[in-house]
Structure 1
Amino acid sequence: MMGAMFSVSLQAKDRPVDLQPLEDIPPPAISNQENPDEPEITIIKKQGETIEEYRINGELYMMKVTPEHGVPYYLHKEDQDGGWTNVGPNPPLSIPKWTIFRF
């Protein structure tokens, strides 16, 4: 017990006289979004088709295209340069680009 009193008096002796209390720590900021991991979905309807844009942190990463007559398909962002890949029930169309004749 004597050792504990000695250490407390030693700590009090080493403190400066002009100490000021620190301000209270502010509470952590509360996000406006309920779950920031969920994407923001924007629905655009034009000329019979519906386009749903999916964004996370404001960056468009996927689109769902639902044509008026047909099967919906998805376009996923392939890379940072803006390339898009068709992901859906039908594989992407492969167009031959051969040069047969050149005039």
Structure 2
Amino acid sequence: MVNEGTPTFYRGGSNFEAKPNEVRIDPETNYVKPTHGISIHQDADRVRSFGGAYKIVFLPDTLKCVQRGRDRGHYEIVPREANLLTYKQYLDELRKIQAVLEEQ
């Protein structure tokens, strides 16, 4: 479950798969850098047009949400620094996310 008191995040559509261009891989270690990931937003209306607003209800402890860009409601799901994940492992962790469609 997402902890009480933490912000609510939404993904546009039910797909939590990361495309290779959405992440950065450290060429020396082959691990996903915790700087770029898949986009989410705090405002359901901002993502609804991308296949519906899916409210994240469970995020594995191996991942975290970081604010990115000028839009203060835009976040990305990235690996926690302590969790060194390959691209395949990152994709496996993303598949563990649970989300429910938020009705308008």
Q: TM-score range by the shorter chain?
A: under 0.3
Q: Which has the higher contact order (CA 8 A, sep 6+)?
A: 2
Higher helix share: 2
TM-score using structure 2 length: 0.22
Which structure: larger Rg?
A: 1
Higher strand share: 1
TM-score using structure 1 length: 0.22
